[in-house]
Amino acid sequence: MLKEDTFKKAQDGDLKSVEEICSSTWEAVYRFIYYKVQNRQEAEDITQETYVKALSHLQKNSVKIEQYTGFLKTVALNILRDKWRKKKRRGTNVNIEAIDAEKTAIEDETEASAQRELIRNALDRLNEEQRMVVELRILKGYSVAETARIIKKKESTVRVLQYRALQTLASILKNND
């Protein structure tokens, strides 16, 4: 559990405190980001950016933080949104203070768990071949060649099957929204 003054010390540039904050909160923050980006490389980078932004923000603004992890997740969410906005060339920056940290973190957990349930249900509605391809390729991480060997189909067929399976899933999930 972080002591209240650890954040204060980190804001004053105390590196031991930065280390303490990172080691006690990184996993929740990293998991939150990974959930959104689904790859380790990007999750590690955004986690790092999150801590730099969050601690710089605290240096600039003497904010009292009650929900450390919630605050860090909010900053992470801002970075992700910013990134997605930039990708879409809209280019507006998100104001860190405009989002309620606690609310975001809580809503996100609830939403994530409901979404997992929806995805499982959607997978059940795929035909046997499509479900198998999605499970092997996406959930178990097999390559196209390995998947083709397992289900005894051509690689091109695996690609077609996974494309159609994802189209079906996207349509089911969209109708659920």
Partner 1 sequence: MDNNEKKLSEYIDKLNAEKMPKEHDEPTDSPELDELMDTVRKVRSLREPDLPEVDYPKKLARVVGRQLWQKPSNRKRKWAWLAGTAAISAVAALVLLVNFALYPGRTDIVYAMEQAYKEVRAYHGILSIVETNLKGEETLQSMREVWADNEGRYYVKELEGFQKGLITVNNGEKKWQVCLDEGQVYVFSAFPDPYRFTLELGNEINDAKNATQIKTIGKDVVAGRKATILEVLPKGGESYQIWIDEETNLPLQRQRAMVNAIQYRVTYTSIEFSDNIPGELLTYDLPQGFEEIDKNSEQLVNNIEEAAEIAGFTPKVPENLPKGYVRDSIAVTDGMKAIKLSYTSKDKKSRVIILQEKATDEFKPASTSVLGKVGSNTAEIQSPVQESLGVLNGGGQYSGMADICSIRWQESGFEYAVIGDVTMDELVLFIESIALDPVQIPSGEEVASDKPQIEVAVDLEAEKNEQKSVDAGHSPWKLDPVYVAQVFVSLKISPEGIEGEYPVNYEDMKIIKNNGIDAIVEVSGDITTVRKVYLKRLIRQDSTGIWTVVGYDPA
* Out of 1, 124, 141, 152, the residue judged to bind partner 1 by CB under 8 A: 141
Sites for partner 1 among residues 51-110 (CB under 8 A): 51-52, 55-56, 59-62, 83, 87-89, 95, 100
Euclidean distance between CA atoms 26 and 2, whole angstroms: 12
Reading the block at residue 168, the tokens are 């079906």
Element (H, E) at 102: helix 101-124
The dihedral through the CA atoms of 103, 105, 106, 108 has a sign that is positive
Q: In sequence order, which residues have a C-beta less than 8 Å from that of residue 38 and are 6 or more positions away?
A: none
Mapping DSSP to helix (H, G, I), strand (E, B) and coil, where does residue 125 land?
A: coil
Element (H, E) at 78: helix 68-87
* Out of 106, 144, 150, 151, the residue judged to bind partner 1 by CB under 8 A: 144
Q: What are phi and psi of 50, to 5 degrees?
A: -60, -45
Sites for partner 1 among residues 1-60 (CB under 8 A): 5, 8-9, 12-16, 18-19, 21-23, 26-27, 30-31, 34-45, 47-48, 51-52, 55-56, 59-60
Sites for partner 1 among residues 111-140 (CB under 8 A): 112, 115-116, 119-120, 123, 134, 137-139
Q: Give the footprint of partner 1 on this chain (CB under 8 A).
A: 5, 8-9, 12-16, 18-19, 21-23, 26-27, 30-31, 34-45, 47-48, 51-52, 55-56, 59-62, 83, 87-89, 95, 100, 112, 115-116, 119-120, 123, 134, 137-139, 141, 143-144, 159-160, 162-163, 166-167, 169-170, 173-174
